[in-house]
Chains A and B, each alone.
Chain A
């Protein structure tokens, strides 16, 4: 049973560019959440997608946007990249309402903005 798959694993972008990160949830999961983890910090919630809609959002600017597809996979887009966007981006999948089963995290995409 495949877990959460994220791509790419590493990415280097220049300030001002745009980036798209991808996530395939664990089989049977219908909800995808994205987190940003800066070096030496705990992950911070960006947003959550369920039924192809953004269900809730953390304290991130509109430069961060996302999408969920009918097969439950998701994309995170970041526009006008800043140096401070350099981080590990983690995707977590779950079953809506199934908090007792916890959340499964992918291996992450490490984004470096230069």
Chain B
């Protein structure tokens, strides 16, 4: 059974700082997705990573995928308040069914 783990679960960081969220998964996959969720809201797609070594960037967020290590990272550069949200990674092990991580609740402190 595919397991997806994220760390940290909670993250408070100051504006302007950099940090990384990690997503580990237990079985072979080259399909990994990152989503953002604001409180009480739905999931907003951030990145689709489909091959080993894939790197994608949008604004202050950059995501990468290492399929050999079964690891994806979401890097936040020079954090700003409006990045406060919960971030989920989700893995598709080949059957187009997503298994989500536990989420990382990010709070940016002024």
Contact = CB atoms under 8 A, between A and B. Distances in A.
Interface in B7-49: 31, 33, 35, 40-45, 48
Interface centre among A42, A44, A92 (most CB of B within 10 A): A42
Contacts of A105: 35, 42-45
B45 A42 contact: no
B92 A104 contact: no
Interface residues of A, number: 27
A77 to B, nearest CB: 20
Contacts of A35: 98
Interface in A36-57: 41-45, 48, 56
A101 B102 CA distance: 23
Interface of A: 31, 33, 35, 41-45, 48, 56, 58, 90, 92, 94, 96-97, 99-108, 110
12 contacts: A33-B96, A33-B98, A43-B98, A45-B99, A48-B97, A90-B42, A102-B33, A103-B98, A104-B45, A105-B35, A105-B43, A108-B42
